[in-house]
Amino acid sequence: MKRFHKYTSLLAVFVASMWLVSCANYVQNVEPLIDVIDDPLLNSQAQVPFIINGVNRQLALAASQMVTLAELQSDAFYFDTRVPNSTFPTFADIDACVPQLDNNSSNNQWGTLGNYRFHADNLVERALGKITFTSDAAGTAARANALFNGYLHGGIVRYFYASY
């Protein structure tokens, strides 16, 4: 019994010392992230083209996935493992129109569409309330450009949702 008590005491001391040590701040002098932009920094008229480029990028990602899946289901693409250098055997399920839930070639299409919808809707939200546009012709044109692109891409992504 003394031996068990000794090990229990050692384990308790070890856990307590690790808990105390883990509270210390060991990570110091970390460089700030260079590929992240804080949300408030995007709320200026000068950032509208940057946000529109981001929405266009999301369109490219979503369209490439949706077109590939549509072509596989429509027999425009024919997937055959006997073809040399044929890749992605998960396309065979899509070609047979029976994609499984864990099919990694089709399960992230909805996440990509969701990101696209978020960016398009966020552009409209910023243009209508968060960004202060100047009252001159440049401000009016920037606001109109932001709203046009936001509504256009919002319609495209909703079309993708409805058709796929």
Mean pLDDT by 10 residues, the chain (164 residues): 68 76 65 82 89 94 82 64 65 72 69 92 93 91 95 94 82
Q: pTM to 2 decimals?
A: 0.66
List Cβ neighbours of 43 (8 Å cut-off, separation of 6 or more): 126, 130, 131, 132
Contact (CB, 8 A) for 62 and 112: yes
List Cβ neighbours of 134 (8 Å cut-off, separation of 6 or more): 45
The residue type of 101 is: L
Side-chain-facing half-sphere of 90: CA atoms under 13 Å? 12
Radius of gyration of the chain (CA): 26
Q: What is the pLDDT of residues 13-51, one digit of tens each?
A: 777 777 666 655 666 677 888 888 888 888 888 999 999
Domain boundaries, the chain: 33-163
Helices (H), the chain: 2-22, 48-73, 91-95, 109-125, 137-163
